[in-house]
Amino acid sequence: YCVEFKTESLSHYCALENRPYARWMQYLREGHTVCVACQPPAMNTDTHRCSGDGHNADGGKILHWEAVGNSRCQGTWKKIRQLEQCLCPLVHSFIFT
């Protein structure tokens, strides 16, 4: 499954990232919708959920995220909806870890 979030805030460290494999962090923007896929091995084998997916969060709850590989690139987002069929666009698509 996938979860759509609206980014609320992000640290300025995301824009400073210039390592080739991590340049995607430069494209994060406040107010953008991002799509995050929940797949193994991040998916819990018992619950079939990913930690941090906002399962019990309503649209008003602010959730925290952190980029893998740059713990200073972090921020907040609000859950928009969960999608059983992942139809994430190629840009602004991520995977839970």
What pTM was estimated for this model as a whole? 0.86
What integer pLDDT is reported at residue 60 of this predicted model?
A: 80
Q: Which H/E stretch holds residue 72?
A: strand 70-83
CB 6 within 8 A of CB 81: no
Report the C-alpha dihedral over residues 44, 48, 50, 55, rounded to 10 degrees: -140
What integer pLDDT is reported at residue 59 of this predicted model?
A: 67
| pLDDT mean values, one per 10 residues, the chain (97 residues) | 94 91 87 91 92 82 90 94 86 76
What integer pLDDT is reported at residue 44 of this predicted model?
A: 92
> Could you give the CA distance from residue 13 to residue 70 in angstroms, rounded to a whole number?
8
> Could you give the CA distance from residue 21 to residue 49 in angstroms, rounded to a whole number?
27
* Domain locations along the chain: 2-92
